[in-house]
C-alpha cells in the first residue's frame, strides 16, 4: 500500500476548490426524491371530464381563471386579472398522488405591493404543503409559508417544478389568493400518478339459483382472474347491486354460501360475486383503488312450503264421503302425497294455493277418527317430507 502525504497548504487548496462539489454531491445523495417528480401523466383539459391514464378527471374552474403557456407551465392560469381564482380536479378512481409545476407567484417584486399565495385542498380539506418542489423556470424558487401556502420569496416572483403530493386524492383544489395589490396570478401544470389497474376478479359462469334453506349456494370458481403479488380473491354475498360494498352479508374464500337465518331471509334476492384487491389481514381491502368485482349470480333461498287440511263436514257417516280442502303456502304448482285408511297412498298435483279432494269411509265402519296424513309435499322449489 502506498502512503500519500498532503501538506496543509495543499489541503487548504482542495477545500477551497471543491466545497460546491461536495455540497452538490450531498444533495444528490440525500434529496433524489425532490429532484425528480414521480407523477408523469399530464392533465391538459380545462373543463369537463376526460379519461387521463386510467382515471376520469373532471375539471371545474371558479373565479378568475383562463389558460396560458408560460415559462414551461401550462395550461392553468388562476388569479389572472388580480382576482382570486381556482381549479378543482376530481379523480375517479382516486389517484395515488400528483406533481405540480408553479410559476409567476408574485411577492412584491419591484416594490409593487402585489402579493399572492397558492392554497391547496385535498379531498375537501385544507392541505398544507410541507415538501418544496425543485427550482422552476424563469423565477427564483418559491417558499412555503408557516400555514403551508406557497408564495414567492420576499421581493421576488416564485416558481417551482415537481412539487409532489403523495397521498390518495379524490379531489384537488388549487387556488390563487390575492393578498394585496394587483398580482398577475399563478400558472401551473398538473401531472397525476395514474397507474392502470390490472387486478381482475374474473368472470363467473352460472345461472341464477333457487334453493331451499337447507341447501348451500355453490357456484363455479371465477375464471379469467388476474391477481398481483399482494392481491387476494374472495367471494361476497350481498343484497344491493347499486351498493355492493355497503350491502355485504357474508364473505368467503370459496364460492359457497349457506343460509344463515340469523342474518338472512327466505324469499330475498341475494347476489354472489368474486372480489379482488390488496390483501389486508387476510381479507380484500375494500378501499383499494384497484378493487375489482366480477359479474354477479342471483340466489334466492325459497321458504319451505306448508299444507293444512280442513273438512267441510268433519262428521262422516259410514259409507259416505267428505271434501277435504288443502291450503298451501309456497310457490305453485304443489304436489301432495297423502294417506287415508280407505284410499291408501295418493299423490295429487294442485295448480293453485288451494285444492280439494274427497275422502270416503267404508260401509259398516265403526265410529271413531278418520285420519288423513300428508306424507310428502313439494312446491315449485322445495320438498317437505
Residues 281 and 359 in one domain: no
Per-residue b/e over 306-334, b at no fewer than 16 CB within 10 Å? ebeeeeeeeeeeeeeebebebebebbeeb
Q: What is the pLDDT of residues 222-235, one digit of tens each?
A: 999 999 889 999 99
Q: Which residue has the cell 375494500?
A: 286
- Sorting pLDDT into bands at 50, 70 and 90, what band is 35? very low
Q: So what's the pLDDT on residue 274?
A: 98
Looking at residues 21-29, what average pLDDT do you find? Answer: 30
Q: So what's the pLDDT on residue 150?
A: 97
Residues 165 and 222 in one domain: no
Whether 21 has a pLDDT exceeding 50, the answer reads no
Whether 28 has a pLDDT exceeding 50, the answer reads no
Classify residue 16: in a domain, yes or no.
no
Q: So what's the pLDDT on residue 173?
A: 98
Tell me the backbone φ, ψ of residue 188, rounded to 5 degrees: -145, 155
Q: So what's the pLDDT on residue 75?
A: 97
Biggest alpha carbon distance in the chain?
141
Residues 328 and 247 in one domain: no
Give the N- to C-terminal CA distance of the chain in Å, as an integer: 98
- Radius of gyration of the chain measured on its C-alpha atoms: 38
Half-sphere exposure at residue 295, Cβ-oriented, CA atoms within 13 angstroms: 14
Per-residue b/e over 247-281, b at no fewer than 16 CB within 10 Å? ebeeeeeebebbbeeeebeeeeebbbbbbbbbbee
Q: What is the pLDDT of residues 243-271, one digit of tens each?
A: 999 999 999 999 999 999 999 999 999 99
Q: What is the pLDDT of residues 327-367, one digit of tens each?
A: 999 999 999 999 988 888 999 999 999 999 988 888 877 78
Whether 36 has a pLDDT exceeding 70, the answer reads no
Classify residue 169: in a domain, yes or no.
yes
Classify residue 380: in a domain, yes or no.
yes
Residues 257 and 238 in one domain: yes
Q: So what's the pLDDT on residue 38?
A: 54
Q: Which is nearest to 161 in space by CA: 183, 191, 184?
A: 191
Residue 153 DSSP SS3:
coil
Residue 317's domain comprises: 306-384
Q: What is the pLDDT of residues 264-279, one digit of tens each?
A: 999 999 999 999 999 9
Residues 42 and 174 in one domain: yes
Looking at residues 291-314, what average pLDDT do you find? Answer: 93
* Bridge partner residues of 236 (DSSP): 251, 273
Residues 84 and 135 in one domain: yes
Residues 370 and 318 in one domain: yes
Give the domain-ending residue among 301, 333, 363: 301
Top pLDDT among 32 and 92 is at 92
Residues 42 and 182 in one domain: yes
Classify residue 2: in a domain, yes or no.
no
Q: What is the pLDDT of residues 93-140, one digit of tens each?
A: 899 899 999 999 999 887 788 999 999 999 999 999 999 999 988 999
Q: So what's the pLDDT on residue 368?
A: 78
Q: So what's the pLDDT on residue 40?
A: 86
174 vs 272: CA distance, rounded Å: 42
- Sorting pLDDT into bands at 50, 70 and 90, what band is 142? very high
Residues 115 and 149 in one domain: yes
Q: So what's the pLDDT on residue 365?
A: 79
Classify residue 164: in a domain, yes or no.
yes
Give the domain-ending residue among 258, 277, 301: 301
Q: How many CB atoms lie within 10 A of CB 304?
A: 17
CATH number of the domain where residue 329 is located: 2.60.40
Q: CA distances (Å), 143 to each of 156, 244, 266, in order?
A: 10, 45, 64
Whether 32 has a pLDDT exceeding 80, the answer reads no
26 vs 24: CA distance, rounded Å: 5
Number of domains observed in the structure of the chain: 3
What secondary structure, in 3-state letters, does 271-315 show? Answer: EEEEEEEEEECCEECCCCCCCEEEEEEEEEECCCCEEEEEECCCC
Percent of the chain with pLDDT over 70: 90
Residues 177 and 121 in one domain: yes
Whether 34 has a pLDDT exceeding 60, the answer reads no
Give the domain-ending residue among 301, 328, 344: 301
Residues 56 and 159 in one domain: yes
Q: So what's the pLDDT on residue 176?
A: 97
Whether 16 has a pLDDT exceeding 80, the answer reads no
Average pLDDT value over all residues in the chain: 87
Residues 271 and 285 in one domain: yes
Classify residue 180: in a domain, yes or no.
yes
Amino acid at each position: 500500500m502506498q502512503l500519500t502525504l498532503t501538506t496543509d497548504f495543499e489541503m487548504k487548496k482542495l477545500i477551497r476548490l471543491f466545497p460546491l462539489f461536495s455540497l452538490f454531491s450531498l444533495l444528490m445523495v440525500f434529496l433524489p426524491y425532490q429532484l425528480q417528480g414521480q407523477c408523469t401523466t399530464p392533465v391538459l383539459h380545462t373543463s369537463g371530464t376526460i379519461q387521463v391514464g386510467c382515471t376520469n378527471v373532471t375539471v371545474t374552474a371558479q373565479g378568475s381563471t383562463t389558460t396560458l403557456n408560460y415559462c414551461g407551465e401550462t395550461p392553468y392560469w388562476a388569479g389572472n386579472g388580480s382576482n382570486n381564482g381556482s381549479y378543482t380536479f376530481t379523480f375517479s378512481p382516486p389517484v395515488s398522488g400528483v406533481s405540480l409545476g408553479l410559476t409567476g407567484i408574485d411577492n412584491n417584486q419591484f416594490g409593487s405591493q402585489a402579493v399572492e399565495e397558492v392554497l391547496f385542498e385535498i379531498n375537501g380539506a385544507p392541505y398544507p404543503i410541507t415538501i418544496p418542489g425543485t427550482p422552476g423556470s424563469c423565477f427564483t424558487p418559491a417558499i412555503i409559508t408557516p400555514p403551508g401556502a406557497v408564495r414567492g420569496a420576499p421581493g421576488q416572483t416564485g416558481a417551482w417544478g415537481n412539487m409532489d403530493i403523495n397521498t390518495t386524492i379524490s379531489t384537488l383544489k388549487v387556488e390563487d389568493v390575492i393578498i394585496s395589490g394587483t398580482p398577475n396570478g399563478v400558472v401551473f401544470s398538473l401531472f397525476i400518478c395514474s397507474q392502470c389497474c390490472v387486478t381482475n376478479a374474473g368472470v363467473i359462469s352460472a345461472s341464477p339459483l333457487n334453493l331451499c334453506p337447507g341447501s348451500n349456494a355453490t357456484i363455479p370458481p371465477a375464471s379469467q382472474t388476474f391477481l398481483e403479488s399482494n392481491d387476494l380473491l374472495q367471494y361476497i354475498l350481498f343484497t344491493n347491486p347499486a351498493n355492493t360494498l355497503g350491502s355485504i352479508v357474508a364473505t368467503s374464500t370459496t364460492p359457497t354460501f349457506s343460509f344463515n337465518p340469523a342474518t338472512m331471509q327466505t324469499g330475498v334476492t341475494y347476489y354472489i360475486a368474486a372480489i379482488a384487491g390488496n390483501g389486508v389481514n387476510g381479507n380484500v381491502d375494500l378501499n383499494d383503488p384497484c378493487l375489482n368485482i366480477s359479474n354477479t349470480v342471483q340466489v334466492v333461498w325459497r321458504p319451505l312450503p306448508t299444507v293444512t287440511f280442513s273438512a267441510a263436514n268433519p262428521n262422516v257417516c259410514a259409507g259416505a264421503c267428505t271434501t277435504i280442502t288443502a291450503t298451501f303456502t309456497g310457490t305453485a304448482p304443489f304436489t301432495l302425497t297423502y294417506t287415508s285408511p280407505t284410499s291408501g297412498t295418493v299423490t295429487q298435483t294442485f295448480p293453485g294455493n288451494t285444492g280439494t279432494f274427497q275422502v270416503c269411509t267404508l260401509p259398516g265402519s265403526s265410529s271413531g277418527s278418520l285420519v288423513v296424513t300428508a306424507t310428502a309435499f313439494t312446491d315449485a322449489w322445495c320438498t317437505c317430507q
